[in-house]
Structure 1
Amino acid sequence: MRKTKITLMACALVFAIVNSALALDFVTIGSGGVGGTYYPLGGSMAEILNNAKIDVKATSRATSASRENCRLLARDAVQIGMVMGSTLWQAYTGTEAFEKDGKLDLYILMNMYAAPQHIVTTGRTGIKTFEDLRGKRVSVGAPGGGDQVLTNLILAAAGWDPEKDIKREQLTQPEGATALVDGNIDAVFWNFAAPGSAVLEVAAVRDVVLIPIPEDVVKKVCEANPFLFSYTIDKNVYNQAEDCLTVADGNFLVVNGKMKEDLSYRLVKTIVENREAFKKVTTQAEHFNPKEASVGIIRFASGAVKYFKEQGFDTLK
């Protein structure tokens, strides 16, 4: 009788453990490489989801970032991926780097933060407007890098030829910062989240001036490249006299079409409502708010649509 009772208790315990495990949703987050923002953010995200008591067991996986994350999502090898907007657009439309993959079944969970294009000069150059850049020594970014890709799109929208209308240099961000400080170039095009360390480095020894992009150029480049959007760098970010109009690429949390509405709802709600905790990892977490997080370039997961609507925001493209 005693053995039977112990056996029944053991079976009940095993049954409870199995049921508890079955009730959990297992989520792997595809982040990025060690040293980038994505990697520590992925680890922090997993920790917060695990401690939120929302029946989610999360782990973070180091990857080579955007392109790999899109392909891992498509295979359901990860359930959340951190992806730049330009890469997401290619994966969603099955173009350029994803031409052989075809269109991937991807959805936005939330917009994490923007990476605006910075056009930076110093007070001693006398450059104040976009048109003033014509004929000047300008770094468009390193060959093949994201800075240069976006720079070329902007110049094309303005009708400029980078080989004729400016004295083109192709410098990395550290090289560009040094050259700008030393006066060896007049301006640089950089793409990163604001505030950018390269701008702050220059500002430590020179009067930094941000050059706005004309409204018509912003409109043209965004219409031609739907993954880009209009963005204003607040004047207080770099202690400027006025706000600066530019364009931005985005950084998104992305899921695939297999994710259930209830799970995507719990995930986005937990991440957005714990943004203060994420600020310990990156200052960009201040953008983890419903107004900014609901701005996208493709469709949103149904649970995200539901959550943002509850907060008073329609998901925007």
Structure 2
Amino acid sequence: SGSILGQRQVETKETLDKVTTSNKIIFATGGTGGIYYPLGGAIAKVINDADLGFEIEVKSTGGSVENARLVSSNKATLAIMQNDQAYYAMHGMVAFENRALKNIRAIASLYPETIQIITNKNSGITSVVDLKGKKIAVGAKGSGTVENTKQILEVYGISMNDIKPIYSSFSEATVLLKHNQIDAAFLTAGAPTSAVTELSESIPIKIIPIEIAKANELTARYPYYEQDVIKAGAYSGVLDDVPTVAVMAILVTNKEADNTMIYKITKTIFDNENRIKKLHEKGAYIKKESALSGISIKLHLGAAAYYNKIGIL
């Protein structure tokens, strides 16, 4: 569609040069069974439908850590990742120790990935304090969930040495809980999470709260946590709202990405909040009011320009 590009070139002149050499933009998401991939597909669809002179191609990946590396090395222009992992990448911590990726920039906050601490209703565990000495699924090795677990235990004065950690995926953790082979499990995922929904249909479950005072301590200590609530009825047998914290899934790019292009992408996403919401349930969280919620790294200049223009920055 050279004619459309021709018209646009007038407005943006040299800024589109980078884009026009290759009209394909790679968008790194996650596994096909998770949320990142279909939500990325919904975002890509509204941007592609806006006919901005480039086309977004959604790629399935291993998630946050891989996505950070893809964006940093310009193998992908857009990616979804957890804001805590983005912070670690920026500061050369955890999975990025000794190899900080300082060129990643944030575009927008997408939706909360809720920290869910699950136990059997009959376990006698009512608080994080009760987890001392217990067998606990803490997430897969190298995952963000393991760090979330450490940091949450820490504000309760518990270290990883005080528990018996089991490293496993969410679905493995729920199987272990079902068969009473562990006492509790930490999951970091948009709620409701299908693995937990299935578990709640086979055993009575309880979600352990992170009290507001402890949540405040966490958010003060680590810039990527936000307060969150698991709503009554989110799972079978969960009858009351449960206070907890969440990290945020955020949209990121490389700081070298063209400013005009990122401005247009940001604007198109927020101009189409209702469409994204219809295409994916997590789209309901994508709104201007919360666009900057839990942003843990620098904003891309193109995104910042949009937020300045609409008066939220």
Question: If the length of structure 2 is used for normalisation, what is the TM-score?
Answer: 0.80
Match of 2:298 in 1: 299
- Distance change (3 Å), C-alpha of 1:87 and 1:131: closer
Other-structure match for 2:6: 19
Hey, what does 1:149 align to over in structure 2?
Answer: 147
Contact 1:261 1:302 in 2 (8 A): yes
- Any conservation in 1 of the 2:84–2:144 contact (CA below 8 Å)? no
Whether the aligned pair in 1 keeps the contact of 2:39 and 2:280 (CA below 8 Å) is yes
Q: Who is 1:189 aligned against?
A: 186
Cα separation, 2, equivalents of 1:17 and 1:281: 27
**Offset of residue 103 of structure 1:** 4.5
Deviation at 1:290, TM superposition (A): 1.6
Identify if the C-alpha distance between structure 1 residues 192 and 123 changes in structure 2 by more than 3 Å, giving closer, same or farther: same
Q: For residues 186-219 of structure 1, what are the alpha-carbon distances to aligned partners after superposition, in whole Å with 9 as ceiling and x for unaligned?
A: 3221111111112211211333221111334333
**Corresponding residue for 2:137?**
139
- 1:1-317 equivalences under 5 Å are 16=3, 19=6, 25=19, 26=23, 27-164=25-162, 166-238=163-235, 240-279=238-277, 282-295=280-293, 296-308=295-307, 313-314=312-313
- C-alpha displacement at 1:312, in angstroms? 5.7
Aligned residues: 300
Distance between the aligned counterparts of 2:4 and 2:289, measured in 1? 40
Contact 1:122 1:186 (C-alpha < 8 Å) held by counterparts: yes
Q: Which protein is bigger by CA-based radius of gyration?
A: 1
| Native 8 Å contact 1:228 1:247 kept in 2 | yes
Are the equivalent residues in 2 in contact too, given 1:287–1:293 (CA < 8 A)?
A: no
Contact conserved, 1:86 with 1:249, CA < 8 A, in 2? yes
Assess, with a 3 A threshold, how the Cα gap between structure 1 residues 250 and 175 changes in structure 2: closer, same or farther.
same
Q: Give, in angstroms, the shift of residue 160 of structure 1.
A: 1.0
> Residue 259 and residue 169 in structure 1: after superposition, are their counterparts in 2 closer, same or farther (change >3 A)?
closer
> One-letter code of the match for 1:149?
E
Structure 2: any 5+ residue segments left out of the alignment?
11-15
SS at match of 1:150: helix
Segment drifting more, 82-91 vs 39-48: 39-48
Deviation at 1:313, TM superposition (A): 3.6
1:9 is aligned to none
Three-state SS of the structure 2 residue aligned to 1:209 is: strand
Structure 1 SS opposite 2:244: strand
Note the alpha carbon deviations across 1:235-266, whole angstroms, 9 max, x for none: 34336343322222221111222334433232
Measured at CA, do residues 163 and 264 of structure 1 come closer, stay the same or move farther in structure 2, by a change above 3 Å?
same
Matched residues in 2 for 1:47 and 1:267: separation? 12
Q: Assess if the C-alpha contact under 8 Å between 1:130 and 1:214 holds in 2.
A: no
| 90-99 vs 199-208, greater mean Cα deviation | 90-99
The verdict on how the C-alpha distance between 1:138 and 1:17 changes in structure 2, with shifts beyond 3 A counting, is closer
Assess, with a 3 A threshold, how the Cα gap between structure 1 residues 144 and 15 changes in structure 2: closer, same or farther: closer
SS state at 2:299 partner:
coil
Shift of 1:154: 1.4
Secondary structure, counterpart of 2:235 in structure 1? coil
- Aligned-partner Cα distance in 2 for 1:185–1:15: 60
> 2:210, 2:244 within 8 Å by CA — same for their partners in 1?
yes
In structure 2, how many angstroms separate the alpha carbons of the residues matched to 1:214 and 1:80? Answer: 35
Unaligned runs of 5+ in 1: 1-13
- Kept in 1, the 8 Å contact 2:5–2:53? The answer is no
Q: Distance in 1 between matches of 2:209 and 2:167?
A: 21
Aligned CA RMSD, in angstroms, stands at 3.2
Distance 2:167 2:95 in 1: 23
Deviation (angstroms), 1:118: 0.6
CA contact (8 A) 1:129 1:212 kept: yes
Q: Structure 1's 128 and 108: CA in aligned 2 closer, same or farther, altered over 3 A?
A: same
